[in-house]
Amino acid sequence: MKIFNTMGRKMEKFHPVNPNEVNIFTCGPSVYQRAHIGNFRTFLFEDIVVRYLEYAGCKVNRGMNYTDVEDKAVKEAYKKHESVAELTAVNIREFQHEMDALGMKRPDYFPRASENVANAVSIIETLLEKRIAYRHKRNIYFDPLKFPGFGKLYGLDMNRWPKRKRRFRLDTYPGMRWNLGDFILWHGCGPRERACWDTRVGSGRPSWNVQDPSMILPYFDETLSIYMGGIDNLVRHHDYIIAVLESVRPYPVACYWLHCHHLYVNGKKMSKSLGNIVYTGDVLKKRFSLQELRFFLTYNHYRERVNYTEKNMADAASLLKDTRSLISRIRTAGKRGAPEKKVASLNQAGADTAGDLKRAFDAGMENDLNVKEAFDGLRAVLVKAAGMSFNSALGRHESGAILETLGKIDHVMGVLF
């Protein structure tokens, strides 16, 4: 399999760090609000990657985090007159429900930032001891100039770095811009702070930038094979994670970095200001099923922007229905059976067709996890096989071999049956 590694911006053959177990970490949701279908596009792509590796015979060990204590959650909880824990608990339950409804595998580890504050404090203490981090008023900041190779994932031009000391105190900032300065690790508590822990580094809470490292360290004690997230994370966040984690342990965070591109709605990025945020329930109201939504969100190449429109959604649903119809025709042909004298030749034909299905699907997936190419190749073989069934050239044994192969493939796709 070849995949596009964001680190280095090139296609590379995939070789897991640990041949016995593929360790993966994926950026989970920020649960200050409900996840929308743009978020689920990324999460479903990550689900496909895990399922394909399992289909290919790998044992996968995956972690995925909840960002449940950060600036946006604190602000939203204050606005709703509730605690951060109350706010995020509702959104976590909803997210897990939608994960299950969309046929996503739950990760092996699902840590929450709020449950790993002690780990974050330990990391910050190490960074303070190494003088990579420093205190300023109530807060603690990371100095990127103390980390050799800062910005290597994004490819940041450090010649642009300002001579004057600058500090950025928010967890994140709007837009795809770089903050050329020191980033925050610890928010010291103010008098009206709603999320606060009393710790060895003071009273406060860990920033978003140190939370992922705090949730990786307890579960993965080696370089990850794959680290995945949305394209937004490529600006600032993932390089911050690399700088923090590689400053406290002497090996790379991950070997391969994969980033899923945006989902647009009617040609525009989703935003509250435009009023075009789409949730799974909105799609269901249009009389589409959750499997059809899963198909639409995964039937593409993950590094390309996808545009959600009702027409595009309807086209995807129609394609899936037609493909299922082809499978149904093959199943019906198998129930009819075949004349005894044809069984031997049909068995061989069935094995050939099943092999063609697997080869077509694998070829697309091993070309940088291109689900669209894999599905289109699979479908071309199905069209041919369904034509054979129409001409009574398919028997019970051949149909069985084809359906068995499709069942294995559907472990990845989750939409064929």
Grade residue 391 by pLDDT with cuts at 50, 70 and 90: low
Distance CA 295, CA 318 (A): 11
Six-digit token pair at 166?
């600058």
Mean pLDDT, the chain, integer: 94
pLDDT at site 341 = 41
pLDDT in tens, 231-264: 999 999 999 999 999 999 999 999 999 999 999 9
Grade residue 394 by pLDDT with cuts at 50, 70 and 90: confident
- Overall fold of domain 8-260: Rossmann fold (3.40.50)
pLDDT in tens, 275-317: 899 999 999 999 999 999 999 999 999 999 999 999 999 999 9
Six-digit token pair at 124?
């910050």
pLDDT at site 247 = 98
Whether 393 shows a pLDDT value over 90: the answer reads no
pLDDT at site 350 = 52
Grade residue 194 by pLDDT with cuts at 50, 70 and 90: confident
pLDDT in tens, 56-112: 999 999 999 999 999 999 999 999 999 999 999 999 999 999 999 999 999 999 999
Mean pLDDT of 130-144: 98
Six-digit token pair at 84?
């951060």
pTM of the model: 0.94
Grade residue 346 by pLDDT with cuts at 50, 70 and 90: very low
Whether 214 shows a pLDDT value over 60: the answer reads yes
Whether 342 shows a pLDDT value over 70: the answer reads no
pLDDT in tens, 19-29: 899 999 999 99
Q: Which of 413, 360, 411 lies closest to 383 in space, CA to CA? A: 360
pLDDT in tens, 41-51: 999 999 999 99
**Main-chain dihedrals φ then ψ at residue 2, nearest 5 degrees:** -110, 135
How open is the CA angle 153-159-160, to the nearest 5 degrees?
Answer: 90
Q: For the chain, what are the domain ranges? A: 8-260, 310-411
CATH 1.10.3430 is right for the domain spanning 310-411? no
